[in-house]
């Protein structure tokens, strides 16, 4: 990577730490390490070397602020510009974002349905996109999250049906998933990234700020975004589940959030329901500030809200996303209908915006950083 003379001194990781990480806005999405191999992760991002960030030593490496700052979804950026760049238009709906079509869908594969969280649509679309040779471009695999031991979230590059089915289902703990792209960039020419709103936004900023400068055909990326209201730091979430729900984390076979409750399915077929509000103290200020419930910058956004039980809601935003869904329909990979209740999504968005306004007011009163996303 070439270096350029410093025109404007870049804040770099120091500013990211002062504005975002140390003030509670970091969602641990992994976007800050998309171009910088010196950033690593514990409970929060940190520089591996205890020295000043390279962007403060007289040269700049990536952008005005340094690549870590530019890719962070919790810093200020023009959402309209990014939407126009990838979708050809700005937001068509205040609550939903830019979209071409909204559908309710489910997998037609019984094996996937048995393992899936709800309708199995994400797994089926991934499997079809990776395995079917008629898809253009041909994707080599997908970056997804799977459960390691004791529901510890782990990043996975899935390139087979077995890998994808193993990764089906939701995990409600934070993971620096976006950083996996840097590891794969040189070896994989076309991949799918599956993540939450903050993760997909960070990756989209990475595409917008940096990947556009690569030669045509050098690297291709499709994003599938997952509806996300909030998530939790793994260790604290695990301890809270075991303490409040009185169940070992290792006995849980599936977990879901439904109608304000954390629903745990145990190995002995027991179902435990616990109010999700009881875990509120674990939620970061970044999650409370965020209003990106439907992953508005992904090519396809998928969740369960708005569709009947056993089905997923699909918000299709890009032409590439629409082509993939339509081909999957034509090949009977998924079955779809138009029966989506947008009002259910709007109700959640009203709640998210109210919370965001409260956090914004609090942070401004304390002189803390608040991103401007327009």
pLDDT band at 1 (very low <50, low <70, confident <90, very high): very low
Question: Does 365 map to a domain?
Answer: no
- Predicted local confidence at residue 51, as pLDDT: 55
Question: pLDDT tens for residues 274-304?
Answer: 999 999 999 999 999 999 999 999 999 999 9
CA dihedral 214, 219, 223, 229 (to 10 degrees): -60
Please, is 50 exposed, middle or buried when counting C-beta atoms within 10 Å of its C-beta (0-12, 13-18, 19+)? exposed
How far apart are alpha carbons 70 and 76 in whole angstroms?
Answer: 9
Question: Does 39 map to a domain?
Answer: yes
Q: How many CB atoms lie within 10 A of CB 298?
A: 31
Structural contact between residues 162 and 123, judged by C-beta atoms closer than 8 angstroms:
no
Question: Does 147 map to a domain?
Answer: yes
> Residue 47 is encoded by which pair of tokens?
């520089």
Query: Are 302 and 272 in a shared domain?
Result: no
- Predicted local confidence at residue 14, as pLDDT: 84
- Predicted local confidence at residue 8, as pLDDT: 46
Query: Are 256 and 315 in a shared domain?
Result: no
- Predicted local confidence at residue 53, as pLDDT: 61
- The three-state secondary structure class of 204 is helix
pLDDT band at 5 (very low <50, low <70, confident <90, very high): very low
What pTM does this model have? 0.91
Structural contact between residues 192 and 142, judged by C-beta atoms closer than 8 angstroms:
yes
Total domains, the chain? 3
Lowest mean pLDDT among 114-118, 298-302, 308-312: 114-118
- Predicted local confidence at residue 52, as pLDDT: 56
Structural domain boundaries, residue 206:
79-228+287-358
Average pLDDT across the chain, whole number: 89
Question: pLDDT tens for residues 148-166?
Answer: 889 999 999 999 999 999 9
Query: Are 68 and 217 in a shared domain?
Result: no
How far apart are alpha carbons 347 and 50 in whole angstroms?
Answer: 46
Question: pLDDT tens for residues 215-243?
Answer: 777 788 999 999 999 999 999 999 999 99
76: left (phi over 0), alpha (psi -120 to 50) or beta: beta
């Amino acid at each position: 990577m070439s270096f350029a003379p410093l025109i404007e001194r870049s804040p770099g990781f120091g500013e990211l730490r002062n504005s975002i990480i140390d003030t509670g806005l970091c969602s641990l999405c992994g976007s800050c390490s998309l171009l910088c191999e010196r950033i690593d992760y514990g409970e929060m991002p940190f520089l591996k070397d205890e020295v000043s960030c390279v962007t403060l030593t007289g040269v700049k490496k990536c952008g005005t602020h340094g690549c870590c700052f530019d890719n962070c979804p919790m810093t200020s950026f023009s959402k309209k510009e990014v939407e126009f760049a990838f979708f050809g238009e700005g937001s068509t709906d205040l609550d939903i974002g830019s979209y071409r079509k909204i559908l309710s869908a489910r997998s037609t594969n019984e094996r996937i349905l048995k393992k899936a969280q709800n309708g199995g649509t994400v797994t089926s679309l991934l499997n079809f996109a990776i395995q079917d040779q008629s898809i253009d471009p041909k994707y080599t695999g997908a970056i997804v999250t799977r459960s390691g031991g004791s529901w510890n979230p782990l990043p996975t590059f899935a390139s087979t049906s077995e890998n994808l089915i193993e990764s089906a289902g939701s995990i409600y703990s934070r993971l620096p998933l976006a950083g996996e792209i840097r590891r794969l960039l040189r070896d994989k020419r076309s991949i799918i990234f599956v993540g939450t709103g903050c993760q997909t936004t960070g990756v989209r900023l990475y595409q917008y700020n940096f990947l556009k400068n690569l030669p045509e055909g050098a690297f291709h990326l499709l994003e599938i975004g997952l509806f996300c209201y909030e998530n939790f730091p793994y260790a604290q979430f695990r301890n809270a589940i075991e303490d409040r729900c009185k169940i070992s984390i290792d006995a849980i076979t599936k977990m879901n959030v439904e109608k304000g409750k954390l629903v745990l399915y145990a190995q002995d077929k027991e179902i435990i329901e616990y109010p999700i509000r009881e875990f509120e103290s674990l939620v970061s200020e970044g999650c409370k500030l965020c209003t990106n419930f439907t992953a508005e910058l992904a090519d396809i956004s998928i969740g369960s809200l708005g569709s009947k039980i056993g089905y997923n809601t699909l918000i299709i935003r890009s032409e590439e996303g629409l082509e993939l869904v339509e081909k999957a329909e034509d090949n009977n990979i998924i079955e779809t209908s138009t029966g989506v209740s947008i009002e259910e999504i709007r109700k959640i968005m009203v709640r998210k915006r109210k919370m965001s306004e409260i956090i914004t007011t609090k942070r401004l009163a304390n002189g803390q950083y608040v991103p401007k996303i327009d």
